[in-house]
A and B are shown apart, each in its own frame.
Chain A
Amino acid sequence: MAEPMVRLHGICKRFGELEVLKGVDIDIAKGEVVCILGPSGSGKSTLLRCVNLLEPPEEGEIYVEGRDICKGQGSGTGEQSWELDFVRQRVGIVFQQFNLFPHKTALENVTLAQEKVLGRSKAEARAKATELLERVGLGDQVGQYPDTLSGGQQQRVAIARALAMDPHVMLFDEVTSALDPELVKEVLDVMRELAEEGMTMIVVTHEIGFAREVADRVVFMDGGVIVEEGPPAAVLESPREERTREFLGLVLDH
């Protein structure tokens, strides 16, 4: 088997007294789409944020493309020893709250880091941004400021912004949870296309339908550990664990 794209091993994370992750192991292969499900407080978002060191773990190892990105770091405070540049140029993230830069237009949101981080020329960055914004269906909105765009539009700009950095892995942190129901589909459609193009994706979501259709693997988390994982058909249709059944029962009722 080829080297996994992302490997998490024995990840533990604490917020003060609260133990959020209690030793999580997971490998994600290149081109794989993994959906992480679980009740709120299960640690799924924290796990996702560990992957690009937004929440550095206290214990455990994270490998991205075979490289230990927390090399030599034990306590979560030694930022010097992290491979920040390495990980953040390979791993893109999209947030629940979009986090677009409100003082920049859609286009500028997508060009800023290209110019400042990758050193691309203005023209190069613009061309790339225009292409990506067209791809997410916002070719006619490039000059708009975030507060004049709908939530769905903003989230698509955020996806384009992350893609502009040419990531090898994309993280999606409940990206549709803050959206009005009628806007969810346009964002999921963009993600589905991305998956079809072969992007490695880790998706924390409540959208069971999306997980069923798009995911190669579904991971169910609860209480800071992985309870059950497997192909969507297996985990979603015939879960082995009682906790998974309970959760799915609650979610699918709606």
Chain B
Amino acid sequence: MRSTRLTALLAVFLLAIASLAAAGCGSSDDDTGGGGGGGGEPLSVGSDIPYPPFEQGKPGEYTGFDIELMEAIGEKIGRTPEFKDTSFETIFRDVAQGKFDAVISAATITEEREEAVDFSNPYYLSEQAVLVKEGSDIGSLEELDGKTVAVQQGTTGQELAKDELGNSEIRPFPEGPDAVNALKAGTVEAVIIDAPVAQNAVEKSGGVEIAEKVPTEEEYGIAVAQGETELLDEINKGLEEVLADGTYTKIYKKWFKLEPPKAIFSAAHEAE
């Protein structure tokens, strides 16, 4: 009796050790993967993955618009980015506290956020999309008032819903894909989410369509801790180079299947 208990205890203990070891191996894979080119000191970059098509993929094989753009910028400035998956809610706090050097996570530049971090020049001009079920008679944002609407927690879509839809029940999902699932299941009537995410859902998942795109004057930026001007300048310089040499356009077309808006070229210059 006693010895069988001991054996069981030992087995559990060994299992725990094995799990730890496996986890250890996994994380070291992360560190070596996702690089390419560069040299110099690696640049740790936080991102809330998955948020397709901006960031997606498994640890060590992260990809997406943000990821490839960051890698292209890294190549220009001689710093290999190492991506760290993190939660969007805490991402600005964490970069401010130095948990990583920079953040690229489809993050809109807002005054509120600028109190906590510094942003690069805009690298992407965003729109919000009203995603509905295929064949739905909802055609615009206004028509959603009074209906049940899903958003992703802590995103611009949630802000927009709060501002525009005073009579709606707004359900903030921690993860975007779960919000899209709720739409497909019919428990919500629309999802307000970043346009590229919505576009991706239309293509990949089917059964849903974009009712309206809402321009938000949103610009995405790369965030660094306040006072990291040297790093910020380098990132801006790298961004300008990838915009100028056509790399940006190539990456944009790959992920969004569209020409990048012309405004992005001037937007990135203006800030200088």
Question: Do A and B interact directly, with beta carbons closer than 8 Å?
Answer: no
Interface residues of B, Cβ cutoff 8 Å to A? none
Interface residues of A, Cβ cutoff 8 Å to B? none
